[in-house]
Structure 1
């Protein structure tokens, strides 16, 4: 299976530069923040979001160099994403993410909340300094969407009536909005035609949804070691994702266990077994593949280039993580 390291080789040097810039932008003025920045922006993440921004920049600028504004957009995108993870880990009381201790487990809740706040504030400052009102509006809306997604998830815990449409809407707010709107922002900064700007948005939206659905499937099919967090942690906390929602239509006993919030001994284990015994995971795979294909369709308006080809391969990579 292709790794993101080899997949993103066209922007490998750009991503290395981005990581160093982020450490300096965030932590220059305070030792604790610098320590948190070192931890956050080390080699722990796949950097999918800034990689998409950089690849779309190359694909829209073609023979021109990536501009400082495009690079800053990639940095802002990773800052917003990382800030949301720091806050999510506090809310979820997660001790590890991707196999590494979370900021709040290392530095305490107070520092984690402040570090997340600081990252959101920094991203807003650098966003304003791009001097493009349309891009400012897009990325500011993303920060609102992230909060909206978390609130919806919290309000819908253990809700067996949740529809796939509501799940996808929440997934858009929590994951796809950032990828979609930062992709659209690339088109605006590259001054491409409005139709292409919308295609970039749709590519980011569908890739983001596919990515989230795949992550939700892996929560049931991967080990805790490969996930870097406890397996089936979403289900345990009452966050019903695509595999569980599809399985609910086939397995009435699953709904019973969820509605009593796994209060009886063996409820959670039985629920996981019922999901595996249903077609829930297969249906979720089809949904992820559907969105990955839709994403690729929206790249047809871009001229052929190595960067465009990598963006097509990224859609294949997202789904290939399941096999």
Structure 2
């Protein structure tokens, strides 16, 4: 239920306030909004009168946010951003039925993007907006409907639908493998290893799976799979990468197995969403489609 109207300032008042707060200038805000300085000043004064709170300190020809005004500006800026995004989404798909989905960058570009056209073709009128996110977030304070998540469940209040298991394989460039004479898994103890910041213990788990004792494992650190794959292809080190996301590189020889060890199972991928969003038609349709797509291709040998 919306609060009483007296607590809902008009859009014009909020826009004037946000512009002045962001630019720190009545003049700049007026230029941005196509208004006169006096009009912007009147709108801010009207907002302060409606709220009963001083939002700015006036110092000669300058303005500065009060402590209360600074906090209010942050909230209003986010609210206006969400209204703007909702309007853009509606204009892009006026028939409605838009799914706002968070995806992991490499999974989104390598696995989902090449297939999403089949979903759209099967569901005319629906649209999908993809946003990359590396970490879990709170759906209650975001505009996203769902997220494709890897690893242990860290989504308080969210419902998780299992999608697929991941398996990783140690890979490197062909020149790198020949330079270090790699063959057995233990050979990788003596070469530069590339690490993913979100999975700092990946190599430790891999060596433990191979029953190989190890000391500290050092090497370059990366924040995304795409960058670590490029580094491995450039011969900077060996990397642990999801098998099914590097089929292209393995097929053309850009990357090769760094040892004779089989792929190692890690964790799984889930579709996360709030329970009260589960029946939203675009999300329900997408959930059914992606599960069918995965089943149709057979359980992939890995994920990321």
Tell me if both proteins adopt one fold, taking TM over 0.5 as the criterion. no
Larger Rg: 2
- TM-score range relative to shorter protein: under 0.3
The TM-score, its normalising length taken from structure 1, stands at: 0.26
Structure with a larger share of its residues in strand: 2
The TM-score, its normalising length taken from structure 2, stands at: 0.27
Structure with a larger share of its residues in helix: 1
